[in-house]
Structure 1
Amino acid sequence: MVRQRKVAISQHKHANNNETNSSSGGSDTADTSRAFKLLSIWKTGVGFFCLVVAIYVGVLGYLETRVNTPFDDEKAVQETGLMVPDRYWGTYRPGVYFGLKSREPRSPVFGLMWYELGAAHKGIRHWCEQSDNLPTYGWQRHNGFTFGEQHISDPPHQIITSFIKTMGGEHGGHWTARINVTTTNKKPTTVGIIWYGALDESLGPAAPHSRLWVESGALLGHTPQLQNFRVNFVPHTGKVLHTSYSEAVAPGLHLLKEKFYSLLKPSKERYGRLGQLAVLEADPKLTEKGVFANFVPIQMIVETPFILDVVYTTEDLPTPPLKEDEYTKVLEEKKKSFDEEFEENFKLLKKGYSDEDVNIARAAMSNMIGGVGYFYGAGRVQSQYTREPVPYWRAPLYTAVPSRSFFPRGFLWDEGFHGLLIGRWSPEIQLDIAAHWLDLINVEGWIPREQILGVEALARVPKEFVVQSNAAANPPMLLLQLAGLLRARPQLFQHGRYRHLLDRMFPRLQAWYQWFQTTQKGEVPTSYRWRGREDDGLQLNPKTLTSGLDDYPRASHPSDIERHVDLRCWMYAAADAMATIAEVLQRDTSKFEATRDQLGDEALLNELHWSHHTQTYADYGLHTDGVKLVRQQPKAPNESPKVVRSVTVPPKPRFVTSAFGYVSLFPMLLMVLKPDSDKLGKILEDLDKPELLWSPFGLRSLSKASPLYMRRNTEHDPAYWRGQVWLNVNFLALRALRHYAAAGPHATRARDLHARLRDALVGNVLSEYKRTGYLWEQYSAEDGRGSGCKPFTGWTALIVLIMADEY
């Protein structure tokens, strides 16, 4: 019994132990389950976080690359290089006084330098420089295809440079360049003439595929595109006193003159009255292994009068190039043919202009055509998603330039005006230029507004203007230009190569147009705002470079509430242009027409931009007229005092009515207003007031009544668009006045204003050319004198169309 009881107790304890163990095991399982769930949630959270980070980094990386990713569609330019033989060689280096190259990225370049012996202080002429202070220079005739003739005045010397191309063969044909040097006083002088060949080292080393060297007095070369070529020198008037040459290594095209200087050494011989000459010696760098010449200058010391023919030939073309008397004969024939074609196009003699005035018009147009360059390289761009500027893709650009001396590169809105004149002379050149610009569009639909391609272009641009922001627009004048050509010459686009070109352009034009609509919209529906305005505290009124009107007064304090009337009008005109292009291509026009009609609604326009107080159109923004420049006391003993802006009256949201000027005219300039609009009548009335915009020399950019009229914007920035007369906007005014003169209650006043404005502009531009030898960037509204840079044969050359009454 006792034993049984012990067993029973033992069994009971065992059961209790099992029960305890069982309870303990259940608790452990639950804890493990909870831990597993927590771990799973944590892992899921971490995974999700990593995924979000990865997506964010991926999206950010994608956004970073968009700014320099090309637009993904068929390129507009398909015929390049030797596929366009009649424009393969040309004067495509507008930044030098005389130079030739081909439309190839790796083209050899040729050019002229000169200097007067005994006048070392004048230096060597090479790049077109404002500081050279030449009385005049520029093309007198240039057809954009086969020949050109240029006059350069560098007292006591008169230099005529010309070229003629001989077509044929598989490598771009032959050409002859002539340099004719005389003196104004007919007395012989001694001049150093340098003709050089060079290879662009920024595109990679010259050897082994490209070479330059001298043999038997000729410049020889080889490139993969041209194969073997030869440049002979044929002097046939005057004396050659000495010749020397060098084969050298230059660091780049932008330093050719400096390299030339370094190669000049005093000669060991004496040359009569000239004494010792500076002659060219070999470059010691060529003794290094694997180093080949990329720069070959040939110097001739000559006595004037002197004529030199530089004759370029290739091996594949048996036709001999032109030289000496034959060249002279062909040049005269081409000049006569050019003059006849110019008169047929513009009919200026028929309109009663004098021979002298027609010569100026011919020079204006020739300088526009002769200012067309071929550039290749990659600009620098930046977006809000890139920490540092990044390179754009390498690309070619065939474009006219505003000024050979000051702006020898491409500008987007300038090119819109250039094409109006170029297209009147050659639609083929105009369309090719437009196509090259459109091939620079990125995947966002953005085109950088300033193109700085190649080392020569980069060397002439201030550092602060090199990087282009993808938030920055520029007026879409190129769109208006293309639509204008379609309206004027629709037969060109009915079929054939121009039709195919326009088809390739259209997706790019559409992307560009949509980029404007997406990125430049304002906060209020149907309003638009130029991006890129920054208040650094130093400017009297922060610039709006993107508008093309630079320092034209806007709202004093940049903000997101701004509404810019000129941009709104540009978008109306852009929608109208897109509708025209789409219609010619038989595409859907409805969305463009809908936008055009909405932006053309005068009631909406007036609601956003019409000031009932001043009865003018105006920008809107955070503004005060109570601003002035003051000199700030330095904070440290060695610190220079700064001139900064002082605000005496706080800004508030309002119309910028004190800045009456070009911007106020845009509803008329771009013909947004209907011919019977009362607002149009008020604009025309104000246009005719001398105390506002009217001057004897054209419409001034800002009213004399404006508080910022001709005021400096900073200590170092003189007035730019604050009163001067600009030809491009005056051209738009004439075009609009011609339009409004056709019908409506204001037709008589518009017709009268058109006639008087045209006469004022033509009279002053021609008068200033006769006085100074140049077309200018802008003209004073006070005395008509040219100002800014010169020569400015960009949109100022539109004077030819104004003389011809062609808009």
Structure 2
Amino acid sequence: MAKHAQDSGHLPGSLLFGLDNAGLRKKGTNLFFAQMIVHGEFAFDVIYECADKTSRIDIEAIDAIASNRRKEFDTRFESSFNLREKGFGDAQVEMARNALSSLIGGIGYFHGSGLVSSSPKPEYGHEDSSEAKLSEPYSLFATTPSRPFFPRGFLWDEGFHQLVLRQWDSDLSLEIIRSWFSTMDSNGWMAREQILGDEARSKVPREFQVQYPDFANPPTILFAVEAMAEQLLARGMTRSVDDALQAGAMEEGMCDEQCLLQSKLDSLAPYTSRLLGFFQKSQAGDKADDSMPPSKAGYRWRGRTENHTLTSGLDDYPRASVPSTGELHVDLYSWVAYMTRLNAELSSKEDTELESHLEMLDKIHWNEQENMYCDVTMGIREDYDELEDEDEGLERVFVCHRGYVSLFPMLLGLVPPGSDKLGHILDMIEDPEELWTEFGIRSLSKRDEFYGQGENYWRGPIWININYLILSSLHRNYMGVEGPYQEQARIIYTRLRENLISNVFAQYQSSRFFWEQYNPEDGNGQRTHPFTGWTTLIVLIMAEKY
């Protein structure tokens, strides 16, 4: 029970209350509530002092101390992102600083039990009879997408958060990545949404609370691991720490910065390998027989419903009109191929699987008639009535919806720079009747029958995380490589980057918020706000750090 604190200090115009810890071993009040009645604009300072008075801060000095801290932050921010060097003005730099500050402010430490199903969720149309139980309590150190609306960890979001955070504090970012990996089970599964404890569950609808051990989520958390590997490669160090020690390249206990980075990377490699194994086993498509490798059959997101594929991260993006176990999803295959490439890089072994994956990705998902990558599903053959065997009446048919899903092979750098497929993808991106807008790349083609329909969540609105991936891939994989589409890639990159920065800045100036998504027709921010999760990627876009 709160009561008026006797030793309230000098707080003019306020009342100070404290929680009485009577009955607890620890004596004294350790939680205070200040009530202030104000009129008009106001400001107040909260000053923490040691009980023994060894470190005092005078009220008169607080402004000077705060000013010095701001200058230190501003100096470090500029050295990390070089925005003034790139020509950005005070207002734009202020926006970027606030984005980073809010992202850091959204870091939280969570502890509790999650609801986890005892078995995989049944496929479409089957009743879920599995029993959900509370897990053993565990902790998670994570960054939240939106403190007031999404105050918990999301696996799909976290990888994008760490791309920004690692540029500011790589050690802090590594601790968050390790915390997520510590939740991984022996099969390589991590719950895609971390709803820990009763308070966290009270903010989530019941139908979304249970986590299923066959539900995957885009492995974006590996982006930061990939960045570490590329950092080492740029420094010319690719051997493991043990190999380096045995070769006498360094003495034990004398590990330099490169060695420390390699050591961190080595500690993460087993998790990335286990995660790939989980995808290959749990998300494999239907096979003709058990001897057939998963890559030959493709991959399918588990957890599909008629209108949603929440596990893909692109919730209501249109897929096959009727869910079936015969579906294969092009974005999922792209993620598997990406993980295969990364695991080969981390192990410093010759890549024997990636080429096969890329061949099957094209064979299964590239539609020559539409000149695009598509999902596929099972359909009835036109000559079905003439067949004697009903099982022969089904065939693979394409499910084509131009938009984010069809871009994934390019987003993850799986399309060769000289491939004519890249040319078709770039044409789709820069076509105003398809994906191009003056505010960013829309999530679904303007010509698609589902554009702007239903929930209209991933059916048109502009998302900064996917736009970042488009810019990143153009910058890393296509602009600097000679080929027939190099100049087109450069032009799209330049125009898209300018459009995104201009619109996010305009919306920030207007509302002082960063938004979950942006309207493709007028650029206005919409849905959740403040959304300082992956929308803060605008800082990296401004800094051109990919």
TM score, norm. by length of structure 1: 0.58
Query: Distance between the aligned counterparts of 2:492 and 2:186, measured in 1?
Result: 44
Partner of 1:573: 338
Change (3 A) 1:308 1:528: same
Structure 2 segments unaligned to the other structure (5+ residues): 121-128, 236-255, 288-293, 381-393
Determine if the alignment matches structure 1 residue 797 to structure 2 residue 541: no
Runs of at least 4 residues off by over 6 Å? 292-295
Determine if the alignment matches structure 1 residue 686 to structure 2 residue 444: no
1:749-787 Cα offsets, whole Å, 9 max, x none, are 000000011111111110010111101000011000111
Partner of 2:305: 534
Paired letter, 2:375: D
Change (3 A) 1:465 1:335: same
Aligned ranges for residues 404-803 of structure 1 at < 5 Å?
A: 404-488=147-231, 494-496=258-260, 498-523=261-286, 525-526=294-295, 527-535=298-306, 542-583=307-348, 589-590=349-350, 593-601=351-359, 604-622=360-378, 653-657=396-400, 659-712=401-454, 718-738=455-475, 739-743=477-481, 744-803=483-542
Change (3 A) 1:742 1:307: closer
* SS in structure 1 of the partner of residue 46 of structure 2: strand
Query: Distance between the aligned counterparts of 1:312 and 1:748, measured in 2?
Result: 57
Give the deviation of 1:553 after TM superposition: 0.5
Q: Are the equivalent residues in 1 in contact too, given 2:108–2:143 (CA < 8 A)?
A: yes
Paired letter, 1:505: L
* SS in structure 1 of the partner of residue 300 of structure 2: coil
Partner of 1:310: 46
- Segment of structure 1 superposing worse, 485-494 or 355-364: 485-494
Determine if the alignment matches structure 1 residue 216 to structure 2 residue 6: yes
Q: Are the equivalent residues in 2 in contact too, given 1:562–1:622 (CA < 8 A)?
A: yes
Give the deviation of 1:521 after TM superposition: 1.3
Q: Are the equivalent residues in 1 in contact too, given 2:376–2:399 (CA < 8 A)?
A: yes
Q: Are the equivalent residues in 1 in contact too, given 2:232–2:262 (CA < 8 A)?
A: no
1:482-524 Cα offsets, whole Å, 9 max, x none, are 111331356687323x544433333222212211111111125
Change (3 A) 1:289 1:432: closer
- Segment of structure 1 superposing worse, 369-378 or 673-682: 369-378
Q: Are the equivalent residues in 1 in contact too, given 2:4–2:16 (CA < 8 A)?
A: no
Paired letter, 2:63: T
Determine if the alignment matches structure 1 residue 357 to structure 2 residue 92: yes
Q: Are the equivalent residues in 2 in contact too, given 1:213–1:293 (CA < 8 A)?
A: no
1:535-576 Cα offsets, whole Å, 9 max, x none, are 4xxxxxx20000000000011111121111111111111112
Aligned ranges for residues 48-59 of structure 1 at < 5 Å?
A: none
* SS in structure 1 of the partner of residue 259 of structure 2: coil
Q: Which structure's CA Rg is the greater one?
A: 1
Give the deviation of 1:443 after TM superposition: 1.9
Partner of 1:58: none
Query: Distance between the aligned counterparts of 2:366 and 2:376, measured in 1?
Result: 10
Query: Distance between the aligned counterparts of 1:483 and 1:554, measured in 2?
Result: 30
Q: Are the equivalent residues in 1 in contact too, given 2:474–2:493 (CA < 8 A)?
A: yes
Paired letter, 1:568: Y
Give the deviation of 1:324 after TM superposition: 1.2
Give the deviation of 1:376 after TM superposition: 1.2
Partner of 1:54: none
Query: Distance between the aligned counterparts of 2:221 and 2:99, measured in 1?
Result: 21
Paired letter, 2:194: Q
Partner of 1:178: none
* SS in structure 2 of the partner of residue 682 of structure 1: helix
Query: Distance between the aligned counterparts of 2:44 and 2:194, measured in 1?
Result: 35
Query: Distance between the aligned counterparts of 2:195 and 2:10, measured in 1?
Result: 36
* SS in structure 2 of the partner of residue 414 of structure 1: helix
Q: Are the equivalent residues in 1 in contact too, given 2:464–2:517 (CA < 8 A)?
A: yes
Change (3 A) 1:328 1:244: closer
Change (3 A) 1:594 1:234: farther
Q: Are the equivalent residues in 2 in contact too, given 1:472–1:531 (CA < 8 A)?
A: yes
Q: Percent identity?
A: 39
Query: Distance between the aligned counterparts of 2:4 and 2:347, measured in 1?
Result: 55
Q: Are the equivalent residues in 2 in contact too, given 1:309–1:323 (CA < 8 A)?
A: no
* SS in structure 2 of the partner of residue 471 of structure 1: coil
Change (3 A) 1:294 1:415: farther
Partner of 1:73: none
Query: Distance between the aligned counterparts of 1:741 and 1:306, measured in 2?
Result: 51
* SS in structure 2 of the partner of residue 468 of structure 1: coil
Query: Distance between the aligned counterparts of 1:723 and 1:472, measured in 2?
Result: 26
Change (3 A) 1:298 1:735: closer
Question: What CA RMSD, in Å, does the superposition of the two structures yield over aligned residues?
Answer: 2.8
1:691-747 Cα offsets, whole Å, 9 max, x none, are 1001111110000111111101xxxxx210000000001111011111211121110
Change (3 A) 1:348 1:502: same
Candidates 378, 398, 402, aligned match of 2:113: 378
Between structures 1 and 2, the one with greater strand share = 1
Partner of 2:250: none
Q: Are the equivalent residues in 2 in contact too, given 1:213–1:296 (CA < 8 A)?
A: no
Paired letter, 1:495: C
Query: Distance between the aligned counterparts of 1:480 and 1:572, measured in 2?
Result: 14
- Segment of structure 1 superposing worse, 736-745 or 479-488: 479-488
Candidates 333, 342, 352, aligned match of 2:77: 342
1:343-396 Cα offsets, whole Å, 9 max, x none, are 111111111111111100111111111111111112111142783211223222
Query: Distance between the aligned counterparts of 1:732 and 1:701, measured in 2?
Result: 13
Query: Distance between the aligned counterparts of 1:460 and 1:783, measured in 2?
Result: 32
* SS in structure 2 of the partner of residue 467 of structure 1: coil
Aligned ranges for residues 72-471 of structure 1 at < 5 Å?
A: 216-217=6-7, 235=11, 239-240=12-13, 242-243=14-15, 245=17, 247=19, 296-303=31-38, 307-313=43-49, 319-384=54-119, 387-471=130-214
1:188-234 Cα offsets, whole Å, 9 max, x none, are xxxxxxxxxx9xxxxxxxxxxxxx9986325xxxxxxxxxxxxxx55
Query: Distance between the aligned counterparts of 1:353 and 1:299, measured in 2?
Result: 40
Query: Distance between the aligned counterparts of 1:321 and 1:393, measured in 2?
Result: 43
Q: Are the equivalent residues in 1 in contact too, given 2:403–2:442 (CA < 8 A)?
A: yes
Query: Distance between the aligned counterparts of 1:599 and 1:321, measured in 2?
Result: 63
1:45-66 Cα offsets, whole Å, 9 max, x none, are xxxxxxxxxxxxxxxxxxxxxx
Change (3 A) 1:609 1:564: same
Instruction: Count residues with an aligned counterpart.
Output: 493
Paired letter, 1:676: G
TM score, norm. by length of structure 2: 0.84
* SS in structure 2 of the partner of residue 469 of structure 1: coil
Structure 1 segments unaligned to the other structure (5+ residues): 1-197, 199-211, 219-232, 250-285, 536-541, 584-588, 625-650, 713-717
Give the deviation of 1:325 after TM superposition: 2.3
